[in-house]
Amino acid sequence: MLKISTNPHMQTTRNTKSIMLDVIVALVPAIIASVLFFGADALRVILISITSCVFFEYLACRYWLKIKNSTTDYSAVITGILLAFNLPSTMPCWMIIIGSFMAIIVAKMCFGGIGCNIFNPALVGRVFLFISFPVQMTVWPNPHFLSLFSPDGATGATTLRMLKSMKTSGEISSDMYTIDELPSYLDMFLGNVGGCIGEISALALLLGLAYMLWRKVITWHIPFYYLATVLVMTSILYYTTGNTKFLPMAHLLSGGLMLGAIFMATDYTTSPMTIKGQIIFAICCGFLTVIIRSFSAYPEGVSFAILIMNAFVPLIDKYAVQRYYGEKK
Amino acid sequence: MTRKYTFSMGGIHPDKFKITSNCPIEDAGLPEMVYIPVKQHIGSSAKIMVNKGDKVKVGTLIADADGIVSSDVHSSVSGEVIKIEDVAGSTGYEEKMITIKVEGDEWEESIDRSDKIIKEINFTPEEIVKKIREAGIVGMGGAGYPTPIKTSLPEGKKADILIVNGIECEPFLTADDRLMVERAEQIIIGARIINKALGIQNAIIAIDENKPNAIATLTALCKLYIGVNVRVCKTKYPQGGEKQLIKAITGKELPSGKLPFDMGCVVQNVATVHAVYEAVMKNKPLFERIVTVSGDGIEYPSNYRVRVGTPISYLIDRAGGMNENVSKIILGGPMMGNAIVNHSAPTTKLTSGVLLFKEDKISKKEASACIRCGKCTQVCPAGLRPFAIKQAVVYSGPTDELRKLHAGDCIECGCCAYSCPANIPLLDYCKIAKQEIRKK
Amino acid sequence: MDNLILLNTLILGSIGLISALVLYLVSKKFMVETDETTVKIVEILPQANCGGCGKAGCADFATACAKADADVFANLYCPVGGQKVMQKIAEIKGFEVAQKAQTTAVLLCQGTCQNAPAKVVYEAVSSCRVANRISSGQSGCPDGCLRLGDCIKSCKFGALSLNEETGLPIIDSTKCVSCGACAKVCPRGLFEIRPVSQNGSIVYVACRNKQKGATARKNCKSACIACMKCSKINDSIKVENNISYIPADIDVEKFGSELAQNCPTGAIVYRENVRD
């Protein structure tokens, strides 16, 4: 029997699943980096997070929404990895499971599953944990390169925490830091610093970015404009005030900025669809990140900045419309 | 490194599958019976000029243009008219067709059947247009717009460039490609004829860079003719679209609702230009064309010279017959062609290809949820937002909303549906939107 | 401390006062004058905003009613609210309301999966409007139901549902309000709003195929073949373009069952008690 259908009769071989797999491959360097610096603990956090995310999504599809099992598109795996990346390696297992529940059930499935959520699920999970368990969420074990477990269990401050309480001339206080105490830029770039397990190595994240650009999963606009905005703003603040807490390169390389700009802000569902919208979105994210990092009580602002901008995505989509063919602007 | 021309907005790069680009054009031969539709063009049907039982020759006028936007239809075979009635066409809908039983191959005496290339254009513009009209030439790229209208300048308009469309951006199709290789000189002279009719000095033959033979042949020949030049364009779909080609060549965008004449451009397909040459220089009406028969469901993919009205099933048999498991027969290219219901239907002046596909290759995949990747907006050559149009259609919003989304400007190229990773049939929704807009 | 409380109270109080003032002025400035009658009529209307009356929505219909004189009013009818609602509006306006016959939408096709089996597989978005454009449909009948259910999606009153077995929509005449949405959306115009007779019966030719009898029968067993038998029973029935049409004002009670029984292909449908 012949088939009739509308044109086009050809279709791309890319589908949701292959795109998600590409993102997972892009995340692999960062996973390796996290295991190299935090040992088996990092692997534990990642595995628990992935398992619980996939499990929650399966449960929601099967028993609650009664829709086709959507775990097969691997989006829950990505949420799991990204959530784990935003946690310190000492995070207790049950807290990770609570975070996964928030990410998958509340932030994703409550809105109708893949493609329908307004906020980035992994970030919702992280922010929920961050606000509920501030103590556990701000314990930063020191990196211990190539050893399976932390040899001394020592913890320290993240670069951003140091930047936040930078000593200015004249002040004397024991919990303040000087510029000399900051890790070197090379350490920051490679990931030999304290922090959440996935955010430490800028190099690994950039490798992931390169892979995603090569596979045309994302365009360069969001990461570039996000990072550029942060760099420009901190530079302006640094050179006008001279305050070392605005050290531009330190801001660029530390905290969740790279992770956020490359993997979180570029999430298809929660970012604008047109290039123009994406640029606006990225610049606003960068702006908010610097504002929160510099002037709020929190040392880190990436998750809040992206979540706030997520809420504006429908508005940006409505107004940042691309030019129609033949239309003059 | 010469500059490669292309359009800037959207576009995709589907696999080319130009498997027949080195197959010389063969004559498809004569079927037992031809079915010639009286409407093979945009506009009103032609008036039937023959009766049942009449004897016709190749090139005999069998239906006369009814009004300006209409076109003459000529017999493509010699023989006897045995039926004039509604016959199911390729879509399954009935069309008025003239059925002619083939007897021998006797041509009208006025047609010059020699191979000699005539280069001197000794006609006035009016004579040229008259000859084009009498030959029943229509835009052979697929639109079927009567060519005489496009070769006579409207009042107060001025044209300064003729673009000959040799892009053929659809995968699989090679009919235009072969024509450019084998009939290069005729095409160049055809372009000069149209130029003369419109009073234009410049003609540009635009060719995709994936047709090296055609580029080489035409570039060499163009040196002998003043005012005709070849431009190599970057391969990108849908570059063969009129608006996209104008942008690629002139750098100007045609605003919605405007005609190419408004920007001083005329775009003609290479096959049309070739037909113009034959009509003006050889008095040969348009009754045959080149058709690519290809796809993975056919034994011997080839390019054929086919008489208008030849049943599609005859062509399939000629190319070695259908493979097993053929699930789709497509008229035209795989991006914009129609999957047909009835393969005993005839080919027309507009049939550029017959493609047969097996089950696995071409069946549509199940649609999943939109992940808002924005690919559809990035590839749309008209700058539309197909996902937004889909939403508006699904939630049956007011027609004004569809109009605000410029859904009427959709050129139905299929880029959106091609590149959607969730396999959402976005183009179908755009088509519904267009219908809704037209309704009101 | 006391001062601080006082100051805060004053500041907040004045902010509130100013805001209230602004709100008041704005609402005065942008107030839309509404006619009292219109408001009353809007309250009565069913608020389905279906457009079945031919107006843009219920509010528009109410305005039209409010403005209408007796002659214009006679032509206004809310199919959803029906006679009851029109009666109430007429009371407000002080007009008499003419009795209108009950109506229902009917499907003018019997091309079920059994009568008109599919010859090709349709593989695109499940929409009649798309299918109609690319081909004559699965069964091959160029004027028959495409069995993809655009009408079902268009019905706002749940009167249409898909019969899985036949592929055709079923019309629940108890729910149908004759708004005409299905007739508008069907690309082949296969819906007709027909009056139901006093005893609740209805008769119509359920075929729109304009092909010649033999061709039509090839695609569908229950196609109208223009055999003229029905027009012999009642000469008000006209056969044009190879299809027969039973006028709406035919005496259903008298001819209905006879017409249906004598139709050789079963293209004429006679139903009793459609309103139950």
**What pLDDT score does C124 carry?**
81
- In this prediction the ipTM stands at 0.86
Residues in B 113-172 with any Cβ partner in C closer than 8 A: none
Poorest-pLDDT segment among A105-114, A157-166, A307-316, C150-159:
A157-166
Contact A327 B383 (CB under 8 A): yes
Spatial distance between the Cα atoms of C189 and C211, rounded to a whole number of angstroms: 16
Written as one letter, the residue type at B348 is T
Assign B361 a pLDDT band (cuts: 50, 70, 90): low
| Chain C contact residues (CB < 8 Å to A) | 118-125, 130-131, 134-135
Spatial distance between the Cα atoms of A199 and A260, rounded to a whole number of angstroms: 9
Assign B173 a pLDDT band (cuts: 50, 70, 90): very high
Burial of C176 (0-12, 13-18, 19+ CB in 10 A): buried
Spatial distance between the Cα atoms of A302 and A298, rounded to a whole number of angstroms: 10
**What pLDDT score does C51 carry?**
75
- Model confidence over C251-260: pLDDT tens digits? 888 888 888 8
- Model confidence over A73-116: pLDDT tens digits? 899 999 999 999 999 988 999 999 999 999 999 999 999 888 89
Confirm if A67 and A20 have CB atoms less than 8 A apart. Answer: no
Confirm if B281 and B112 have CB atoms less than 8 A apart. Answer: yes
Does residue A128 sit in the same domain as residue A25?
yes
Supply the DSSP symbol for A264.
Answer: I
Among A107, A122, A137, where does a domain finish?
A137
Poorest-pLDDT segment among B244-248, B423-427, C111-115:
C111-115
Return mean pLDDT, chain A.
Answer: 89
Binning chain A into helix, strand and coil, the percentages to the nearest 5 are 60, 0, 35
Contacts of residues B395-402 at CB distance under 8 Å and 24 or more positions apart, as own/partner, are B396/C153, B396/C154, B399/B436, B399/B437, B399/B439, B399/B440, B402/B433, B402/B436, B402/B437
Helix (H, G, I), strand (E, B) or coil at B120: coil
Among A119, A137, A155, where does a domain finish?
A137
**Residues B29-48: b if buried by 16+ CB within 10 A, e if exposed:** ebbebbbbbbbbbbbebbeb
Q: What is the rounded radius of gyration, in angstroms, for the C-alpha atoms of chain C?
A: 27
Q: How far apart are the first and last CA of chain A?
A: 50
DSSP string, B232-267: EE---BTTTSHHHHHHHHHS----TT--GGGGTEEE
Determine, yes or no, domain membership for A205: no
Chains A, C: CB contacts within 8 A come to 26
What Cα–Cα distance (Å) separates residue C17 from each residue in C14, C20, C22, C28?
5, 5, 9, 17
Determine, yes or no, domain membership for A116: yes
Return mean pLDDT, chain C.
Answer: 85
Confirm if B417 and A11 have CB atoms less than 8 A apart. Answer: yes
Helix (H, G, I), strand (E, B) or coil at C268: strand
Nearest to residue C53, comparing CAs of C78, C75, C83, C90? C78
- Model confidence over B316-353: pLDDT tens digits? 998 888 877 888 899 988 999 888 888 889 999 999 99
A222 vs A185: which has the higher pLDDT: A222
| Chain A contact residues (CB < 8 Å to B) | 1-12, 14-16, 18-19, 70, 73, 75, 113-116, 219, 268-269, 271-275, 321-328
Contact A2 B339 (CB under 8 A): yes
CA distance B225 to chain C (A): 44
Q: Which two tokens stand for residue B85?
A: 């009635």
Neighbours of chain C (3+ CB pairs under 8 A): A, B
Neighbours of chain B (3+ CB pairs under 8 A): A, C
Supply the DSSP symbol for A33.
Answer: H
Determine, yes or no, domain membership for A303: yes
Q: What would the mean pLDDT of C74-88 be, rounded to a whole number?
A: 80
Residue C33: other Cβ atoms inside 10 A: 4
Pairing mode, if any, of strands B288-294 and B302-307? antiparallel
Q: Which two tokens stand for residue B346?
A: 């005839």
- Report how many domains make up chain A: 2
Q: Token pair 């945009």 is at which residue?
A: B42
CA distance B179 to chain A (A): 25
Assign B262 a pLDDT band (cuts: 50, 70, 90): confident
Q: What would the mean pLDDT of B56-75 be, rounded to a whole number?
A: 89
Among A102, A137, A172, where does a domain finish?
A137
Q: Using a CB-CB distance cutoff of 8 angstroms, which residues of chain B are in contact with residue A268?
A: 371-374
Determine, yes or no, domain membership for A62: yes
Q: Which two tokens stand for residue A247?
A: 């050290």
Confirm if B63 and B114 have CB atoms less than 8 A apart. Answer: no
φ, ψ for residue A53, nearest 5 deg: -65, -50
Counting every residue written for chain A, the total comes to 329
CA nearest C56 in B: which residue? B398
Supply the DSSP symbol for B73.
Answer: E
Spatial distance between the Cα atoms of C269 and C106, rounded to a whole number of angstroms: 10
Confirm if C45 and C85 have CB atoms less than 8 A apart. Answer: yes
Nearest to residue C168, comparing CAs of C143, C193, C149? C149
Contact B374 A327 (CB under 8 A): no
Determine, yes or no, domain membership for A196: no
- Model confidence over B9-56: pLDDT tens digits? 889 999 888 988 889 999 988 999 999 999 888 888 888 989 988 999
Assign B1 a pLDDT band (cuts: 50, 70, 90): very low
Determine, yes or no, domain membership for A182: no
CA nearest C137 in A: which residue? A4
Helix C36-44 and helix C58-67, axial crossing angle in degrees, nearest 10: 130
Confirm if B385 and A325 have CB atoms less than 8 A apart. Answer: no
Supply the DSSP symbol for C264.
Answer: S
Omega of the bond leading into A8 within 30 degrees of 0 (cis): yes
Counting every residue written for chain C, the total comes to 276
Determine, yes or no, domain membership for A326: no
Confirm if B338 and A7 have CB atoms less than 8 A apart. Answer: yes
Nearest to residue B251, comparing CAs of B163, B190, B169? B163
Nearest to residue A29, comparing CAs of A306, A271, A259, A301? A259
Q: What would the mean pLDDT of C184-213 be, rounded to a whole number?
A: 88
Counting every residue written for chain B, the total comes to 440
Confirm if A197 and A236 have CB atoms less than 8 A apart. Answer: no
Does residue A124 sit in the same domain as residue A27?
yes
CA distance A7 to chain B (A): 5
Pairing mode, if any, of strands C121-122 and A3-4? parallel
What Cα–Cα distance (Å) separates residue B101 from each residue in A29, B96, B285, B337, C268?
72, 16, 20, 29, 40
B217 vs C180: which has the higher pLDDT: B217
Residue A261: other Cβ atoms inside 10 A: 28
CA distance B137 to chain A (A): 26
Written as one letter, the residue type at A30 is A
Q: Token pair 């905290």 is at which residue?
A: A255
- Look at residue B397 and tell me whether its pLDDT is greater than 70: no
Residue A21: domain span: 16-137
CA nearest C128 in B: which residue? B432
- Look at residue B190 and tell me whether its pLDDT is greater than 90: yes
**Residues C207-237: b if buried by 16+ CB within 10 A, e if exposed:** bbbbbeeebbbebbbbbbbbbebbbeeeeeb
Determine, yes or no, domain membership for A185: no
CA distance A310 to chain B (A): 13
Q: Using a CB-CB distance cutoff of 8 angstroms, which residues of chain C are in contact with residue B432?
A: 127, 129-130
Poorest-pLDDT segment among A290-294, B50-54, C55-59:
C55-59
Confirm if A114 and A108 have CB atoms less than 8 A apart. Answer: yes
**What pLDDT score does A168 carry?**
63
Confirm if B286 and B144 have CB atoms less than 8 A apart. Answer: no
- Look at residue A171 and tell me whether its pLDDT is greater than 70: no
Contact C134 B363 (CB under 8 A): no
CA distance A154 to chain C (A): 49
| Beta bridge partners of residue B58, listed in sequence order | B107
Q: Closest CB to C125: pick one of B91, B341, B428.
A: B428
Omega of the bond leading into B238 within 30 degrees of 0 (cis): yes
Q: Using a CB-CB distance cutoff of 8 angstroms, which residues of chain A are in contact with residue C120?
A: 1-4
Contacts of residues B23-26 at CB distance under 8 Å and 24 or more positions apart, as own/partner, are B23/B174, B23/B178, B23/B301, B23/B302, B23/B303, B24/B178, B24/B182, B24/B303, B25/B178, B25/B179, B25/B182, B25/B290, B25/B303, B25/B304, B25/B305, B26/B302, B26/B303, B26/B304, B26/B305
Contact B341 C120 (CB under 8 A): yes
What Cα–Cα distance (Å) separates residue A94 from each residue in A48, A90, C214?
9, 12, 74
